[in-house]
Amino acid sequence: MVNEAWHLCQTLPVSHTAECDEVCLTLILRITQLHLKVQDYKKLEEFAEILLEFSRKVNDTEREISALIHLAIARGVASDYKTAMPYFIEALEKSQAMGLRYIAANCLINIGNIYANFFNYEEALERYNRVLNEYADILSAETEVTINVNTGNLYYASEQFSLSLDFLIRASRLAEKLKSTPWVAYIYALKSRTLLAMNRNESAVADAHKAAELMRNLNISTRGRQINLLNLAQIDFQTADTEGATQRALRGIAMARRVHDDTSEVRGFKLLADIYKQQKHYKKALRCQTIYAEKQADYLKTQRNMHTLDLEIRYALREKTK
């Protein structure tokens, strides 16, 4: 069907009539959207480039914006953020100029996500907060939960724990209204982690237990399970239950590895080193401390590399606007 549609588009008469242009653009857009749906990102990029060229030729700005976004998605999936970012920024500027607020909001979210991947929390937070402040009236409930959670996580990573808690509380209320148990459980785990960092242990214990209770009836791969296992391990350690703390820390590390959560894995090894030290298992403590140091070094190296890429993109964008 896709090949037939594309063949039809290619065989349309080159009459440059508005009718032919509209038929061709519609076909190319539908084919592009189909490749996105089936996650064929190579074909997605190919047809998005065709859509971009054709839409610019006939001055169809809405289809041009769609092409830019699809190209950004294709490059983003390939982790080519250096190429994806300019596409999103151009789509944002054009959608804002046309008053396409829903598209503009989604571009801002994606730009924020890329900055978060660069560990540029300040720029990411600026985009997320803009969406919450300027586009709240058009956001779906699920999107609003997601942005509040993302914002809370970035404030946590920036060690601004009070602000992190504010956004997680807001996200929790929204998730409760959605009656989404996986979201509610995940947010309880995040809140507990933040409260532990603030030394508000009583509230942290309550939220960790709520998260654990909800997760008990959810899939083993439920988001945030590794975070809450480490919360519970930290709580056990603080209450001198070193055996319970050890078992939960080990499970938390295993789960973090399973879901590729490097931050939680680093946290887990640091906690486990402290637990073994308390138990006077110094050989095990040294091993965990060494693993922690190595993983922390790898994490910092990744962070530096992403900061460099961030600067390269900023420079390229600045040169483009000269």
3 state SS for 70-103: HHHHHHHHCCCHHHHHHHHHHHHHHHHHCCCHHH
Structure tokens at 217: 């009836």
Look at 82 and 166; give whichever has higher pLDDT: 166
Cβ(252)–Cβ(266) under 8 Å? no
How far apart CA 232 and CA 267 sit, in angstroms, is: 13
Q: What confidence score (pLDDT) does residue 217 get?
A: 87
Burial of 309 (0-12, 13-18, 19+ CB in 10 A): middle
Cβ(115)–Cβ(310) under 8 Å? yes
Q: Provide the 8-state DSSP code for 138.
A: G
Residue 7 pLDDT level (bands cut at 50, 70, 90): low
Residue 1 pLDDT level (bands cut at 50, 70, 90): very low
Residue 9 pLDDT level (bands cut at 50, 70, 90): low
How far apart CA 311 and CA 309 sit, in angstroms, is: 5
Q: Which of 78-87, 161-170, 181-190, 206-215 has the lowest mean pLDDT?
A: 78-87
CA atoms in the 13 A half-sphere facing the CB of 276:
18
Task: For residue 112, give the amino acid letter.
Answer: G
Within the chain, residue ranges assigned H as helices are: 2-11, 18-37, 41-57, 61-77, 81-97, 101-117, 121-134, 141-157, 161-178, 181-197, 201-215, 225-238, 242-258, 262-278, 282-320
Structure tokens at 225: 């399970």
Q: What confidence score (pLDDT) does residue 319 get?
A: 66
Q: What confidence score (pLDDT) does residue 11 get?
A: 56
Cβ(236)–Cβ(251) under 8 Å? no
Q: Region 16-25: what's the mean pLDDT?
A: 71
Structure tokens at 285: 């403590």
How far apart CA 188 and CA 295 sit, in angstroms, is: 27
Nearest in space to 255 (alpha carbons), one of 177, 315, 189, 303: 189
Q: Region 283-290: what's the mean pLDDT?
A: 95
For the chain, domains (ranges, CATH) are 1-9+17-139 (1.25.40.10)
pLDDT tens-digit profile of 102-138? 999 999 999 999 999 999 999 999 999 999 999 999 9
Structure tokens at 146: 């997601």
Nearest in space to 107 (alpha carbons), one of 121, 125, 83, 86: 86
pLDDT tens-digit profile of 48-103? 999 999 899 889 999 999 999 999 999 999 989 889 999 999 999 999 999 999 99
Q: Region 160-183: what's the mean pLDDT?
A: 96
